[in-house]
Amino acid sequence: MKDADGRIRSWTLELSRPRFTPPPGAVDAHCHVFGPQAEFPFSAKAKYLPQDAGPDALFALRRHLGFSRNVIVQASCHGTDNRATLHAIAVSEGTCRGVAVVDPAISDDELDALHSGGIRGVRFNFLKRLVDDAPKDKFLDVARRIQRLGWHVVVYFEADILDEMRPFLDAIPVPVVIDHMGRPDVRQGPDGADMTAFRALLDSRDDIWTKVTCPDRLDPAGPPYADFVRAVRPLVEAYPDRVLWGTDWPHPNMETVLPDDGALVDVIPEIAATAELQRKLLVDNPMRLYWPEEV
Please identify every residue annotated as catalytic: 248
Is residue 202 a contact point for ligand 0GZ (CB under 6 A)? no
Beta-carbon count within 10 A of 161 CB: 14
Per CB under 6 A, the list member of 33, 65, 75, 272 interacting with ligand 0GZ is: 75
x/- letters, 126..145, toward ligand 0GZ (CB under 6 A): ----x---------------
Number of residues that bind ligand 0GZ (CB under 6 A): 9
Closest residue to ligand 0GZ, based on beta-carbon distance = 76
Which backbone phi and psi does 23 adopt, to 5 degrees? -65, 160
The reply to whether 85 sits near ligand 0GZ by the rule CB under 6 A is no
Contacts of 239 (CB under 8 A, 6+ apart): 202, 210
**Binders in 232-251 for ligand 0GZ, by CB under 6 A:** 248
Should residue 179 be labelled a site residue for ligand 0GZ when binding is judged by CB under 6 A?
Answer: yes
253 is an interface residue for ligand 0GZ by CB under 6 A: yes
4 HSE (CA, 13 A, CB side): 0
Q: Which is nearer to ligand 0GZ, 130 or 155 (CB)?
A: 130
Q: Is the dihedral of CA 249, 252, 254, 255 positive or negative?
A: positive
Burial class (CB in 10 A: 0-12, 13-18, 19+), 109: exposed
At residue 222, the 3 state secondary structure works out as coil
Among residues 182, 215, 252, 262, which is the contact residue for ligand 0GZ, using CB under 6 A? Answer: 252
Q: Which is nearer to ligand 0GZ, 62 or 211 (CB)?
A: 211
Q: Return the beta strands (E) in the chain as ranges.
A: 27-31, 69-73, 96-100, 119-125, 152-156, 176-178, 208-211, 243-244
Interface with ligand 0GZ includes 72 (CB under 6 A)? Answer: no
- By CB under 6 A, which span of 37-45, 74-82, 170-178, 268-276 interacts with ligand 0GZ? 74-82
Q: What angle do CA 93, 28, 249 make, to 5 degrees?
A: 100
Residues that bind ligand 0GZ (CB under 6 A): 75-77, 130, 179, 217, 248, 252-253
